[in-house]
Amino acid sequence: MLSYASGTAVDPLIGQTIGDNLDAVAAENGDNTCLVSRHQGIRWTYNDFVSEVNRCARAFLTLGVGQGDRVGIWSPNRAEWAVVQYATAKVGAILVNVNPSYRSHELAYALTQSGVSVLVSAEAFKGTSYLETIEAVRSGLDSLATVISLGEGGDLQWEDFLDRQDGTNDDDLRRVQSSLEFDDPINIQYTSGTTGNPKGATLTHHNILNNGYFVTGMQGLNAQSVLCVPVPLYHCFGMVMGNLGMLSRGGTVVYPAEGFEPAATLAAIGEERCEAVYGVPTMFIAMLDDPTFATAELSSLRTGIMAGSPCPIEVMKRVISDMNMDEVTIAYGMTETSPVSFQSRTDDPVERRVSTVGRIMAHVESKIIDPETQKTVERGQAGELCTRGYSVMRGYWDNAEATSEAIDVAGWMHTGDLATMDEEGYVNIVGRIKDMVIRGGENIYPREVEEFLYGHPAIVDVQVVGVPDAKYGEELYAWVRLREGQSLTIEDLREFCQDRIAHYKIPRYLRIADEFPMTVTGKVQKYKMREVSIAELGLEEADSVRTA
C-alpha cells in the first residue's frame, strides 16, 4: 500500500473573501464577545470589531491604499493587529507580516523585497525601539511612504489615522470589497529559521480562511468557545489558526499579553474560562514549570493545539494529565501550506496523539516520496512528505525560482521533512532532510535521539544537532536544559544511553544550556546551534572538509 492519503470532509470549503466571511459571521453573532486583549483592557463584541475594522478599512482607502498594495505590520500581539488584518482584507491590500524580533537588516530586507508602501508599527517591544529602527533604514526604502504608529511618533498615530475618513464612506468600502475574489493574494509571510534570505510565502483569502476554519473545527470549537492565543499573531499559528479560525466560527479570541508570558497565559485561561489554548512545545513546558501553575484554574480547558516544532512525547503526556487537556491535538504544517496539513482528532487514542502528527486534513492530499527517485514509497517507509490542495501557497513573492523548487509541476508542495505513514494514515515526522546526521555511514534522525533523552529524569528539554568530525563525518551534540536543582555530565548521559540505544546514536558532546536559539514563534534554530557548537568545540577544520 502506497503512502498516499486524501482528506475527506462533510463541510465544503468556504467560497468567500475574509471580509465577506467576517460580515456574515457578525450578522449572526453580533453580541458575542469577539476579541479580548487583556493587557490593553479591550473587550469587543463582533459588532464592535466590525465597526473598528470598517473604520480602519475606510482610512486605508482615504490614504490611497488599494487592491494589491502591500501594507506591513510590525507589532506584538495587540487588538490593532487583528483590526489591520481584517481591514486590509476588506480593501484587497496584501498584509505583510513583519517578525517582531527582526532587527534593522532583516526589516529593511522584508519591506524592500515585498514593496511595502504603508507600515503599521508598534512604538517598541522588549527594549527595541521599532520607530528608531525604521528611521535608521528608511532612507533606503524607496516604496515606504507612510508609517502609522500604534504609540507616539511615526508619520501618523493610530487614532489620527483612523480619523482620516474624508472622501470615503460605507458605500465606497462595500464597492471595493465586492470587487475582490477569494483567490486574490492577501498575505505575505516570511519563512524563518533557515539560512539565507527569508522567502515571502504568498497566501490567498481561500488559503488561510479555510485552513483556520477547518483547524478549529477539528477541535470541536464553535460560537460558544473561548480560545487563548499566546502565540505570535505575525505567524500563521496566531493569525490563521487563532484569529481566522475562531472568528470564522463566531467564537472568542483572547490575547493574554503582548508576547508569551506563562503566568499571564495561565491567568487568562482561568479568568476567561478558555476552552482551548495554543502553544509550541516550549510554551507548554514553560507553563508547566511556572510557579503559578500549582494554583492555576484550568478546569475550563478541554482542547487546543501543540504545534510549531516536534512535540516531545513526555511533554504531551503532561499536558493531557496536568492541564486538563484530554482532547489536545497535534498539528503539523508549514507557512507555505497556510499552515496545517495534518492534525490529530480529539477522539484519537492518546498513543496516537503522543506519537504522530495525526492524519491528513479535510480537502488536502499527501504523499511520501523517495527523495532520490521521487517515487511514492510504501506505507511505513521513510521519505519526503509532500502535500497538495487548497492550502498550498500561490508561491514565494517575486521569487519564481524558489517557488518552482518548492512546488512541482503537479502542484505538490515539497516540505523537506522526512516522514512515515502507517496503514491507518497516521504520519510521524522523523526529521528534516537537511537535519539528518550521517555518522560513519549510519543515518541518524535527531528527533529519535531527542525523544529518548526526554526520558532522563534530569532533562526538561533537549535538542540534538550534528557537528563535523574528521573520523566519522559527523557526531551528535546534545544541548540540554535541566530541571531545577539537577546536574548532568557527559558520562552520566552516556551511561543512561548505554545498551538502550545504538552506540552510534549516543551523543559525543553535551552542552548544558539555559535556553536554545529560537525564532519568535518558538521554533528551535538548529543551524545556529550547529554554528555555535562548531565554534565552541574548535571544529572549523573538520567543517571545512568537502564531501561529495
Q: Residue type for 407, please?
A: I
Q: Could you count the other beta carbons within 10 Å of the beta carbon of residue 163? A: 13
Nearest CA among 451, 331, 350, 335 for reference residue 395: 335
User: pLDDT, tens digit, for every residue of 451-510?
Assistant: 899 999 999 999 999 999 888 889 999 999 999 999 999 999 999 998 888 788 999 999
Q: Is the pLDDT assigned to residue 196 strictly greater than 70?
A: no
Q: The pTM is what?
A: 0.89
Query: What sign has the CA pseudo-torsion 61, 63, 69, 75?
Result: negative
Q: pLDDT-derived band of residue 171, with 50, 70 and 90 as boundaries? A: very high
Q: Residue type for 156, please?
A: L
* % of the chain exceeding 90 in pLDDT: 81
User: pLDDT, tens digit, for every residue of 21-54?
Assistant: 999 999 999 999 999 999 999 999 999 999 999 9
Q: Residue type for 453, please?
A: L
Average pLDDT over residues 239-262: 98
* Average pLDDT of every residue of the chain: 94
Look at 144-158, 249-263, 462-476 and tell me which has the smallest mean pLDDT: 462-476
- Between strands 116-121 and 70-74, the pairing is parallel
b/e burial code for range 348-370 (CB count within 10 A of at least 16 → b): beeebbbbbbbbbbbbbbbbbbe
Nearest CA among 14, 140, 134 for reference residue 74: 134
Distance CA 214, CA 502 (A): 41
Q: Is the pLDDT assigned to residue 338 strictly greater than 70?
A: yes
* Confidence (pLDDT) at 312: 79
Query: What sign has the CA pseudo-torsion 289, 291, 294, 295?
Result: negative
Domains (ranges, CATH) in the chain? Answer: 437-543 (3.30.300.30)
Q: Residues 189, 201: contact at Cβ < 8 Å?
A: yes
Q: Residues 430, 10: contact at Cβ < 8 Å?
A: no
Sequence-separated (6 or more) residues with CB below 8 Å from residue 159: none
Q: Is 456 helix (H, G, I), strand (E, B) or coil?
A: coil
Q: pLDDT-derived band of residue 14, with 50, 70 and 90 as boundaries? A: very high
Tell me the DSSP string of 254-279.
EE-SSS--HHHHHHHHHHTT-SEEEE
Q: pLDDT-derived band of residue 313, with 50, 70 and 90 as boundaries? A: confident
- Joined grid coordinates for residue 435: 537535519
Q: Could you count the other beta carbons within 10 Å of the beta carbon of residue 19? A: 27
* % of the chain exceeding 70 in pLDDT: 98
Q: How far is CA 389 from CA 44, 361, 366, 454, in A?
A: 35, 10, 9, 35
* Confidence (pLDDT) at 500: 86
User: pLDDT, tens digit, for every residue of 373-391?
Assistant: 999 999 999 999 999 999 9
Backbone angles phi, psi at 56, to 5 degrees: -65, -40
